[in-house]
């Protein structure tokens, strides 16, 4: 350690090694403070106001600035108005939902008050309209030029609060003013200033204390009642003799206003727009009371009312009946296929129907007659259109194609096929017109045959069924003479097969073998089967493309005929049972 008597160390005389040591020592001792100072200097040189910094002090700053004066409020009014206007444009439903809880009760209350006043006025007018006093008052109304309701009001009114003023106590400025129905308010500001001046005059002239106040004034048949509050004055202009209970209403109203607007009353700077919401409590003070008539209404008045109600009832029943009949007519027209009513216009005693009508639909005037209306009561201005519902597509197809009874139109959604037989000229016409029918996606006559071809098929079938092959007693082999018959049968089969192919048929042909009555039942069945099979084996069945040939033994049978020949004996006959296509029905 250095001696206390050693002189102070001069850094300029230190060697390089000592200087580096001294710097290292200073860094060890002062490094944290230097880093903090450098950080603060850098923040001050490059200062940026962060939103989080403003957010911490903004609420308190706004509150403190608003307590000083109203400049902050005045500067925010344009911004608030623009924000509210933009919000209403962008989200009207949100604003509507927000103010609905406020407007709803206010609107209902205003409507209730208006309806109550109207009913009360109507009751007063009706109460005296048919009495002797009422007739006197009617003469007075005629003589003075006033309305009858006004005269009734003057004679029956006990009291009515016509106007209510809310005045700021310190400044004497009118904060709000409400007027009863039928009363025209004029010079509200003047009246407010006059009431304040009168109070000051009375207080100064008679040496009253500052807390003392004027409670009432009387001018002709008008009375002014004044209620004092800590921040506001309530004054009501009353016609007639008001009851003492009305003062309690005024006091309660004034207390309510002070409770809700105490802060605004204390910081009032001349802006009365904040007190517009006081209308509802002030309107509660607009009360009225009328004298009730002791005697009931005269008898002939009730008779008149009864006749009037009876007439209204008859008219209502008739009107309802007419309305129901008209509604049923509209429903029938709207449900009628092919008719589309777009609008109905009333012109005098006529109703004009506008819409569309398919040419195949019913005449709407016929519907009008069926409903009990005259054609003069309605005019139909319907433009033609084409109804593409299945019902009208089918109607249009039958009307255009006009199929014969032997042709059947078969529908499958938007596909129409025709099966049966008809003249070839009709089939050709159907192939031209069918694909052009509106509402159809496809049309075919593949299941149709010409009537001429069907007649030839029936002729060939009848010719074939007349041929038969005879056998010797107890034998099933074909004789030399019967082979000639087999050749004719083969030719008939070939012709029938070609015609069946042309018609698209697959007829089933049965070769039936028979025996005489000699022999046992089983032996005869076996012999008849062998005879039918031998006939089939003798035919070139492999060359037939449409015919389905089958050999069947019948044994002994003489109970029917085929082709005009009795079935039975030692023979084999041919029977065309039924074509397996869509065109030909099974033979009768």
* Segment 101-111 mean pLDDT: 60
What is the predicted pLDDT for the residue at 245? 84
Arithmetic mean of pLDDT over the chain: 76
What is the predicted pLDDT for the residue at 339? 83
Q: Is the pLDDT of residue 447 over 80?
A: no
What is the predicted pLDDT for the residue at 538? 87
DSSP 15: -
Choose the most confident range, by mean pLDDT, from 53-62, 117-126, 296-305, 575-584. Answer: 53-62
What is the predicted pLDDT for the residue at 2? 45
In terms of C-beta density within 10 A (0-12 exposed, 13-18 middle, 19 or more buried), how is residue 156 classed? Answer: middle
Quick one: pLDDT band at residue 299, thresholds 50, 70, 90? low
More confident residue, 370 or 516: 516
More confident residue, 380 or 221: 380
Backbone angles phi, psi at 35, to 5 degrees: -65, -40
d(CA 242, CA 471): 137
Backbone angles phi, psi at 293, to 5 degrees: -75, 130
More confident residue, 207 or 474: 474
Count Cβ neighbours within 10 Å for each residue of 269-286 and write b for 16 or more, e otherwise: eeebeebeebeebbbbbb
What is the predicted pLDDT for the residue at 588? 34
Quick one: pLDDT band at residue 11, thresholds 50, 70, 90? low
* C-alpha radius of gyration, the chain, whole number: 57
Q: Is the pLDDT of residue 469 over 80?
A: yes
Which residue(s) pair with 165 in the sheet? 177, 235
Least confident of 183-187, 189-193, 203-207, 330-334: 203-207
Q: Are 410 and 418 in contact (CB under 8 A)?
A: yes
Q: What kind and span of H or E run contains 549?
A: strand 548-555
CA distances from 396 to 426, 433, 437 (A): 17, 11, 8
Name residues whose C-beta falls within 8 Å of residue 521's C-beta, 6 or more positions apart in sequence: 555, 556
Closest CA to 513 of 491, 492, 534, 496: 534
d(CA 484, CA 297): 124
More confident residue, 529 or 419: 529
Helix axes 132-144, 148-156, angle to 10 degrees: 120
What is the predicted pLDDT for the residue at 77? 76
Numbers of helices and strands, H then E, in the chain: 16, 18
DSSP 388: -
More confident residue, 128 or 335: 335
* Segment 194-198 mean pLDDT: 70
**What is the pTM (predicted TM-score) of this model?**
0.33
How would you write 435-476 as a 3-class SS string? Answer: HHCCCCCEEEEEEEEEHHHHHHHHHHHHHHHCCEEECCCCCC
Instruction: Please state the CATH superfamily assignment of the domain spanning residues 466-579 in this structure.
Output: OmpA-like domain (3.30.1330.60)
Q: What kind and span of H or E run contains 71?
A: helix 71-90
- Tell me which residue has tokens 């709407």: 364
Quick one: pLDDT band at residue 120, thresholds 50, 70, 90? low
* Segment 498-508 mean pLDDT: 80
Residue percentage of the chain with pLDDT more than 70: 75
Name residues whose C-beta falls within 8 Å of residue 415's C-beta, 6 or more positions apart in sequence: 440, 441, 442, 443
Q: Is the pLDDT of residue 389 over 80?
A: yes
Residue percentage of the chain with pLDDT more than 90: 0
Q: Where are the domains of the chain?
A: 130-290, 301-384, 390-451, 466-579
* Segment 322-337 mean pLDDT: 78
Q: Is the pLDDT of residue 139 over 70?
A: yes
What is the predicted pLDDT for the residue at 567? 57
Closest CA to 275 of 288, 289, 290, 256: 256
Q: What are 193's two structure tokens?
A: 């200033």
Q: Is the pLDDT of residue 460 over 60?
A: yes
Q: What are 327's two structure tokens?
A: 């509604």
Q: Is 506 helix (H, G, I), strand (E, B) or coil?
A: coil
Q: Domain 130-290 falls in which CATH fold?
A: Beta-Lactamase (3.30.450)
* Segment 239-256 mean pLDDT: 86
* Segment 384-395 mean pLDDT: 83
Q: Is the pLDDT of residue 432 over 80?
A: yes
Choose the most confident range, by mean pLDDT, from 66-70, 154-158, 165-169. Answer: 165-169
Q: Is 228 helix (H, G, I), strand (E, B) or coil?
A: strand
Q: Domain 390-451 falls in which CATH fold?
A: 3.30.1340
């Amino acid at each position: 350690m250095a001696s206390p008597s050693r002189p102070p160390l001069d850094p300029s005389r230190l060697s390089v090694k000592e200087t580096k040591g001294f710097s290292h020592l200073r860094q060890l001792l002062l490094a944290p403070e230097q880093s903090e100072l450098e950080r603060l200097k850098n923040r001050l040189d490059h200062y940026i106001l962060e939103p989080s910094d403003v957010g911490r002090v903004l609420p308190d700053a706004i509150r403190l600035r608003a307590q000083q004066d109203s400049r902050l409020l005045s500067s925010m009014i344009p911004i608030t108005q623009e924000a509210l206007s933009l919000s209403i444009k962008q989200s009207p439903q949100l604003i509507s939902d927000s103010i609905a809880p406020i407007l709803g009760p206010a609107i209902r209350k205003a409507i209730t008050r208006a309806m109550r006043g109207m009913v009360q006025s109507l009751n007063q007018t009706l109460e005296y309209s048919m009495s002797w006093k009422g007739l006197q008052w009617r003469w007075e109304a005629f003589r003075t030029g006033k309305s009858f309701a006004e005269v009734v009001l003057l004679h029956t009114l006990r009291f009515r609060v016509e106007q209510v003023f809310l005045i700021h106590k310190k400044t004497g400025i009118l904060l709000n003013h409400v007027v009863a129905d039928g009363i025209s308010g004029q010079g509200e500001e003047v009246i407010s200033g006059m009431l304040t001046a009168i109070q000051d005059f009375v207080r100064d002239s008679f040496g009253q204390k500052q807390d003392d106040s004027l409670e009432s004034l009387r001018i002709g048949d008008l009375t002014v009642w004044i209620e004092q509050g800590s921040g506001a004055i309530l004054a009501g202009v009353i016609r007639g003799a008001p009851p003492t209970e009305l003062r309690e209403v005024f006091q309660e109203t004034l207390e309510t206003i002070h409770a809700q607007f105490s802060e605004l009353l204390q910081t009032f700077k001349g802006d009365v727009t904040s007190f517009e919401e006081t209308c509802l409590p002030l309107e509660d003070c607009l009360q009225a009371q009328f004298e009730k008539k002791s005697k009931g209404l005269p008898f002939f008045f009730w008779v008149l009312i009864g006749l009037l109600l009876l007439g209204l009832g008859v008219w209502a029943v008739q009107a309802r009946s007419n309305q129901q009949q008209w509604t049923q007519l509209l429903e029938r027209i709207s449900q009628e296929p092919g008719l589309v009513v777009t609008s109905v216009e009333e012109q005098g005693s006529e109703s004009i129907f506008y819409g569309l009508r398919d040419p195949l639909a019913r005449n709407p005037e016929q519907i009008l007659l069926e409903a009990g209306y005259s054609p003069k009561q309605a005019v139909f201005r319907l433009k033609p259109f084409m109804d593409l519902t299945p019902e009208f597509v089918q109607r249009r197809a039958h009307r255009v194609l006009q199929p014969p009874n032997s042709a059947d139109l078969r529908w499958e959604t938007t596909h129409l096929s025709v099966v049966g037989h008809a003249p070839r000229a009709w089939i050709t016409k159907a192939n031209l017109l069918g694909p052009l029918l509106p509402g159809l996606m496809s049309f075919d006559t593949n299941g149709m045959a010409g009537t001429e071809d069907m007649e030839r098929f029936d002729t060939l079938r009848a010719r074939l069924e007349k041929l038969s092959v005879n056998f010797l007693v107890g034998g099933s082999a074909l004789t030399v003479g019967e082979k000639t018959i087999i050749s004719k049968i083969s030719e008939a089969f070939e012709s029938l097969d070609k015609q069946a192919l042309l018609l698209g048929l697959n007829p089933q042909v049965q070769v039936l073998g028979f025996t005489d009555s000699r022999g046992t039942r089983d032996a005869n069945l076996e012999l008849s089967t062998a005879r039918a099979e031998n006939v089939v084996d003798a035919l070139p069945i492999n060359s037939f493309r449409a015919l389905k040939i089958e050999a069947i033994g019948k044994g002994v049978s003489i109970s029917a005929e085929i082709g005009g020949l009795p079935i039975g004996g030692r023979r084999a006959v041919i029977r065309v049972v039924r074509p397996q296509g869509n065109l030909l029905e099974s033979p009768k």
